Structure 1
Amino acid sequence: MQTASTNICEILCNKSISDISLHLNIPRSTFSGIITKWKQLGTTETQPRSGRPRKMTVHCAQKSPTVCRVKS
């Protein structure tokens, strides 16, 4: 009996980033970012950061503050 991880490895191991992103239906740029983060940090979890996140971006503030609010 094979486990799910064995089946995934048979499909995805030794494949290129482009092939894996096509198979998982994830954009290549997103997938390569995940791989880069894993290689640098050893995890894909969000890391702590200093300060409070902004309520809206500078770009949105210039356009229309009521339309572009970032939801908390």
Structure 2
Amino acid sequence: MQTAFTNICERMGCFQELTAFKRGTVIGCHLCNKSIRDISLLLNIPQSTVSGIITKWKPLGTTATQSRSERGQRMLKRTVCRSCQLYAESIAKDLQTLCDF
């Protein structure tokens, strides 16, 4: 007997990453002027996923997953914007403690 959760997991994939082939297929369909809705129905993946793949592909030119290396940069920007009167040494110390360097 299937529960509602297993039914959703089968449809949505439970947050599993798409294969490189499927991401490439999305881009191929996009280059053939298929709409996001058509691609979604054809490949049985959500429209938001199709849109996200296309949106990330346009500026980068690749469908490979990107690393999360920008975390330190975002935290530094947030720290500096929060208080413009901080000294560079205190900002560096805060960043090191937050990122465990």
Which TM-score band (shorter chain)?
0.3 to 0.5
TM-score under structure 1 length normalisation: 0.48
- The higher-RCO structure (CA 8 Å, 6+ apart) is 2
TM-score norm. by structure 2 comes to 0.36
More helix by share: 2
